[in-house]
Chains A and B, each alone.
Chain A
Amino acid sequence: MTLAAATDLAAATNEHLANLSNTLIYSAMAVYTLAFFAYITEWIFGSRSKIGRTAAALTADPAERKAPAVTVKKGGSTAVLERPKVVVRAAAGQRDVPDGPGAHGGDEQGDLYGRIAVSLTVLAFLIELAGVIARAASVERAPWGNMYEFNITFSTVAVGVYLSLLALKKNVRWMGLFLITSVLLDLGIAVTVLYTASDQLVPALHSYWLYIHVSTAILCGAVFYVGAVTTILYLFKDSYESKLAAGGKPGKFATSFLERLPASSSLDKFSYRVNAAVFPLWTFTIIAGAIWAGDAWGRYWGWDPKETWAFITWVAYACYLHARATAGWKGRKAAYLALIAFGCWLFNYYGVNIFVSGKHSYAGV
């Protein structure tokens, strides 16, 4: 076999893999769409239940409220007497509101559809993951050389983060509908606007720092995204609770929808944890990028638009963390900062790639 024939054969295999990848991505989109409808169904069935726990908690006379003591840990069965119970008290000034039951609102059928939706999400995730891997195999490198690849990898990781949180038994199933909606949007943009036939990287993108830098950037983005979704829902739920506490009567749709979400304080805390947990990783991502820039362009920091926006994003998240520690900035104000920070992240990805030219021009659009 001549060398040329061998290259042709390799090219054919790659083309085959690239086509396979496209098919898988489209299939994943189809399954995500099914999952999307299942989540919708869950929400619809859930609206049958009339729970109103938040309202009950916020309008009840404090004296009537039960003091539910909870045993955090039960001892061995030999103990005759009951073990001591740990009682947890909400911090002063915090609304004492129970978490909603989730999208299904306690409705059994709704719950069934919710489970179906999660199963479909898992399936779609696996298919999409296979698609990403096939794509990587077809180009013989990591799947993030252009915006199309970045998008498909990003949504895979975002769904992966969501499923991992579910697997860790975190109360996040309610997020499913919002997440899958945006995943579908992300994939839709990827296959229509951003699609680039599979190909190799320009030499400037050959570096193992690229692998480290971009993979952590994608992971950070996915987690920041989960944080941002929670923050938005927190803002809605918080105004809902404030309205109730002030004696107002929120609309029927808002009630049905927001009653099922966790309490605003839980949402707030969750988004804080998520954002705080990835902030060190984001710091690392920027540093890895700086090291790569040092190798590629002879300076580790040059205020290239992409670098500048990574820095702005970093400072914005640092602002948010500071705000959380500063009296008077907690709650809604800090939440707005978190959203601005995520906005910076988004702009760094879409805005800078499309509107601003710099050294990071690998967008392929």
Chain B
Amino acid sequence: MSKTTPDATRTPPAGDEDLGAAGSQLSTAPEDTLNMPSLGVIGWARWFWRQLTSMRVALLLLLLLSLGAIPGSLIPQSGTDETKVADFRKNNPTLGDLYDKLGLFHVYSSVWFSAIYILLFVSLIGCIIPRTWQFVGQLRGRPPGAPKRLTRLPAYTTWRTETEPEQVREAALALLKKRRFRAHLAGDAVAAEKGYLREVGNLAFHIALIVLLIAFAWGQLFKMEGNKLIVEGGGFSNTLTQYDDFKSGSLFTADDLDPFSFNLKDFQGTYEKSGPNRGTARTFQADVTYSLGAYGKSKKTIIKVNEPLEIGDSKVYLTAHGYAPVITVRDGKGNVVYHDAVPLLPLDANITSSGVVKVMDGYRDPKGARQQLGFEAFFLPTYTPGNEVSSTFPALGNPVLNLAGYYGDLGVDAGVPQSVYQLDKTHLKPFKNGKGQQRENLRPGETMKLPNGAGSITYESTEEWANFQVTRQPGSGWALAGAIAAIFGLAGSLFIQRRRVWVRAVKGDDGITVVEMAGLGRSESAKVPEELGALADTLYDQAPGAPEPDEDPTDTPDPQAVPAERLEK
């Protein structure tokens, strides 16, 4: 035991042996022992189990859990940012390999992190079960009888009275019961206890932690998360094939998808027009219509950044937005071979964007041969002359689309999955004019003629697109319930005092009754002596003091006593 033990009453500390059973069981915390096991497998198993469920090991595991969580916050994680992980691997190949081996790119699903929290929760369960039984036993039993020497308890008071001991004890029993103590008469003293809710709170808190963890694990196994980019006017129905990308927990099946569909009518973004934060987004909102099931009625709603649309168990979030110029491509004869809005990916906060236009079929070159076309598009929603490479404001102020074309084979038929935002130029040749590669800035409505009668490309107008994330996180209700229960349990466990009071009344040699009262709290608190004082005061009225005898009473207060006021901080 260390030198300063402010709450020394949970296991009777050395020097307090005489409290015996009175001081025990004030908490159901397991006792910490480090006894070496007796030989044999069972001996070791039992020793191991006892260690695992001890407070010391719980503490160590908690420490390990917090230490183990640190690397995941400093090293890029594949779960949150795949590209950063890839960058890191490229820049530090050796370190990357090492991290890979240690699972440091996915700390929170790594073997070692799981091992820590699984051990912790085994420990927790192994801790809760015996404590619950022990507590039930305490509730069934009665508060332990008074220790022999009440003077040794943390709070103590005594007086002499002419009232008969039986009467005093009866009055004390009635008083304590009225104050909602569990009290009973044991020998020459009344034993009482209060504050059992502390233990209830503590058990509830630890059980709530288990509920929380199971709910979290359940959510991880059955969750789904998919993204869909939709251009204004476009729609989506909730099937696997419609998603641009889709992630799910290992036990999720496609049947779990909620049947719904929705259309994006309009996207609106507003931005700060002036001041130091010029260009910072103010509002984003998507006007959508949605319907549930195959033939559901369609309803109108607005999805904002913090206000997802909830359909069934799914939530639809607005997560990103950008521009989609409407492009028309014509061949040499003037036939339209491509007409679509092309979503471009934002590169910066002012939505400078880039992307590609792929004309896969239908196009023939001036000689009539089948060919594919590709265009690199670079878009500035607000173009300011002099600043050719980036937009100066996120809204559509002065849109300019920069295009450069290629012809040949896009490589899309090779079967290798290709990004819709990049061109594979291995089999493509640039369109050239006199000065090299042809590259032009277009404004809405303008057309760029391709050289040698190869056709033309027109920038018609600009639409906006929004990205929607559809998620389903089963078990989140349980997680929330667990969390709320944990808070209440915790509050009960930390704010409720569990304490015992004993009142002894015996006749002294001179025929006068000596009343002794003592209080014991689970932790040394100013409340225990205060409460004892109040109880003593009330009891004193019913058993008023008798004049002091000439000589000192035998029960001099303990010399280690300190003033009560010191504790009242």
Contact = CB atoms under 8 A, between A and B. Distances in A.
A280 B65 CA distance: 20
Interface stretch (B52-60, B139-147, B365-373): B52-60
A349 interface: no
Contacts of B432: none
B158 interface: yes
A92 B156 contact: no
B330 to A, nearest CB: 40
B559 A268 contact: no
A311 B308 contact: no
B537 A75 contact: yes
A298 B319 CA distance: 9
B561 A87 contact: yes
Interface in B230-253: none
Contact of B156 (A73, A87, A295, A322): A87
A327 B529 CA distance: 24
B287 interface: no
Interface stretch (B2-10, B43-51, B336-344, B416-424): B2-10
Q: On chain A, which size bracket covers the interface?
A: 35 or more
Contact of B3 (A290, A308, A331): A331
Interface stretch (A33-41, A195-203, A253-261): A195-203
B102 interface: no
Interface in A314-365: 315-316, 318-319, 321-333, 344, 352, 356
Contacts, number: 290
Nearest to B9: A91
Contacts of A283: 483, 486-487, 490
Contact of B56 (A67, A202, A328): A328
Contact of B534 (A73, A89, A238): A73
A67 B59 CA distance: 39
A321 B491 CA distance: 13
A270 B73 CA distance: 33
Given A299-B225, A308-B73, A331 B5 contact: yes
B56 A199 contact: no
B557 A93 contact: no
Interface in A275-319: 276-277, 279-280, 283-284, 287, 290-292, 294-305, 308-309, 311-312, 315-316, 318-319
B16 A92 contact: yes
Nearest to A170: B569
B157 A87 contact: yes
A1 interface: no
A192 interface: no
A171 B490 CA distance: 27
B32 interface: yes
Interface stretch (B273-281, B434-442, B445-453, B456-464): B273-281
Contacts of B69: 308, 311-312, 315
B152 to A, nearest CB: 7
Contact of A91 (B63, B283, B484, B524): B524
The prevalent SS among residues of B at the interface is mixed
A186 interface: no
Contacts of B10: 325
A303 B72 contact: yes
Most buried by A among B10, B275, B284, B315: B275
A249 interface: no
Contacts of A305: 73-74
A81 to B, nearest CB: 4
A68 B73 contact: no
Contacts of B486: 283
21 contacts: A67-B561, A72-B530, A81-B544, A86-B532, A86-B533, A88-B563, A89-B562, A93-B2, A199-B276, A242-B3, A265-B4, A277-B494, A287-B484, A291-B480, A298-B317, A299-B223, A299-B471, A300-B479, A303-B72, A315-B69, A356-B73
Given A69-B557, A89-B153, 11 more contacts: A62-B559, A72-B532, A86-B536, A91-B154, A92-B8, A93-B14, A200-B282, A295-B308, A316-B66, A326-B59, A329-B59
Interface of B: 1-11, 13-16, 27, 29, 32, 55-56, 58-59, 62-63, 65-66, 69-70, 72-74, 77, 79-80, 107-108, 152-159, 216, 223, 225, 272, 275-277, 280-284, 304-308, 315, 317, 319, 469, 471, 473, 476, 479-480, 483-484, 486-487, 490-491, 494-495, 515, 517, 524, 529-530, 532-534, 536-537, 540-541, 544-545, 547, 556-567, 569
Shortest 9 CB-CB contacts between residues of A and residues of B: A72-B533, A92-B15, A91-B8, A315-B66, A308-B73, A81-B545, A305-B73, A331-B4, A298-B471
